Amino acid sequence: MGLRLKFNLILLLVFSAGFITVGVVAQRYLERQAVADAERAALLTLDAAVLGNIDARSATALGSRLVEMKIREFPLDKMQSGVEGEAIARFKGNNNTQVSDVFTSISGEKRLVIARRISVPDDLGKIRVASVDLLPVLGTVKSALTALMSSLGAVFFAVFFVLNLMLDRMIVRPVSEMAKQADAVSIGDFSIPEFKSDTKDEVGVLAIAFNRMRRSTEEAIKLLQNETL
């Protein structure tokens, strides 16, 4: 296995681990932020409906300008089904005035439900529920995550190309040339020119030492040849 292949395999392994880690962390963070933004939009709509004395239908139209949501209002003692029923069930047996959570329907659809108790004189009270469909909300997260990971992948391939270019010019080529000369010297062929390096790094120091060893070997062989004559 060559040096370049080893280097690239290690680089790919490190990048893959980092890429997966960044993807998981970024997805969780973006999803939390998207749900939090949707919750703020729903709460703002519910507050505006109370302050402006807006009915549920008008509040739905108002909230849909921010995020896709439905607002309903019904008596507390009226049975409801689905995720709205699960949210309202949390009111029973406690003094909570508001419930906010992500619920999953039987079909697997995720919805953010915010249920708020409304006091009505001479009545048991009413519940106003804002239900936000999280599918389009999480769809924007997917788009943002795709853009982020695509950018990260493009940066990696740019770095991968530059590092391979540097590795080839600074290490692989000089070492390959020195290996070629060492092989020639080992069979007594000194016809090829000495290895030249203009750098002062470790490869340059190795080149100086290699050329010194080559000259010493050449002189030793010449002395042996003269003695035999």
Specify the CATH number of the domain 157-228.
1.10.8.500
State the DSSP code for 101: E
Which residue type, as a one-letter code, is found at position 192?
I
Q: Among candidates 128, 124, 134, 125, which has minimal Cα distance to 115?
A: 128
pLDDT band at 17 (very low <50, low <70, confident <90, very high): very high
* Number of C-beta neighbours around residue 99 at 10 A: 20
- What does the domain layout of the chain look like in residue ranges? 3-141, 157-228
- The residue length of the chain stands at 229
pTM of the complete model: 0.69
* Cβ contact 71:128 at 8 Å: yes
Higher pLDDT, 126 or 14: 14
Q: For 54-79, how does the pLDDT look when each residue is reduced to its tens digit (9 = 90+)? A: 777 787 887 777 788 888 887 766 66
Query: Hey, which residues does 130 pair with through a beta bridge?
Result: 71, 114
Q: For 165-205, how does the pLDDT look when each residue is reduced to its tens digit (9 = 90+)? A: 888 888 888 888 888 888 887 777 777 777 777 777 777 78
What pLDDT score does 54 carry?
A: 78
Query: Hey, which residues does 98 pair with through a beta bridge?
Result: 116
